[in-house]
Amino acid sequence: MNCEKYKKLIEKYIEGAIGDEQVAELKSHAETCEQCREEFEQCRGLGDAVREAFSSRMSTEEGRASVMARLSAEPGITVRRAQYNLGWLAGRRASIAAGILLAIGLTLGFYMGKASTDKPTAAKVPMRVAKLDGTILVRHEGLDSWQVLKANSAIHLGDTFHSTAKSAFVLEMEDKSTIEVNQNSMLVLKFYNGETQFFLEYGRCTAALESPHSPFFIGTPHGRVEALGTEFTVTVE
Partner 1 sequence: MAEEFRHTMTSDEKLISDTLSGNITSFGTLVERYWNMVVGLAMSKIGEPSEAEDVAQESFLKAYSQLHCLRQPSRFAGWLSRITLQQCSNTIRGKIRCRSALGCKATGIEDLNTKAANPCNDRLTESQRHFIRERIQRLPEKFQKLIVMRFMGGLSAVQIAKQLGKRPGTVRVWLHRAYKILRKDLAPILEEVK
Catalogue the E-assigned strands of the chain. 127-133, 136-139, 147-148, 160-163, 168-173, 178-181, 185-192, 195-208, 217-220, 223-226, 231-236
The single-letter DSSP state of residue 127 is: E
Phi, psi values for residue 146, rounded to 5°: -95, 140
State the number of binding residues for partner 1 (CB under 8 A).
55
User: Which residues within the stretch 78-137 sit at the binding site for partner 1 (CB under 8 A)?
Assistant: 78-84, 86, 94, 106, 109-110, 113, 115-116, 118
Residue 65 exposed, middle or buried by CB count within 10 Å (0-12, 13-18, 19+)? buried
Nearer to partner 1, 86 or 96 (CB): 86
Q: Which stretch binds partner 1 (CB under 8 A): 71-79, 154-162, 176-184, 215-223?
A: 71-79
Residue among 7, 24, 35, 41 that touches partner 1 (CB under 8 A): 41
Nearer to partner 1, 84 or 226 (CB): 84
On whether the CB atoms of residues 137 and 148 are closer than 8 A, the answer is yes
Residue among 5, 35, 45, 121 that touches partner 1 (CB under 8 A): 45
The amino acid sitting at 71 is L
Nearer to partner 1, 42 or 235 (CB): 42
The contact pattern for partner 1, residues 5-34, with x = CB under 8 A and - = no contact, is ------x--xxxxx-x--x-----------
Q: Which stretch binds partner 1 (CB under 8 A): 56-64, 128-136, 177-185, 200-208?
A: 56-64
Q: How far is the CB of 226 from partner 1 (least distance, A)?
A: 36
Instruction: Report the sign of the C-alpha dihedral through residues 152, 158, 159, 163, in that order.
Output: positive
Residues 6 or more apart whose Cβ sits within 8 Å of residue 129? 149, 150, 151, 152, 153, 155, 169, 170, 171, 172
Helix/strand/coil for 193: coil
Residues that bind partner 1 (CB under 8 A): 11, 14-18, 20, 23, 41-43, 45-58, 60-61, 63-64, 66-68, 70-71, 74, 77-84, 86, 94, 106, 109-110, 113, 115-116, 118, 144-146
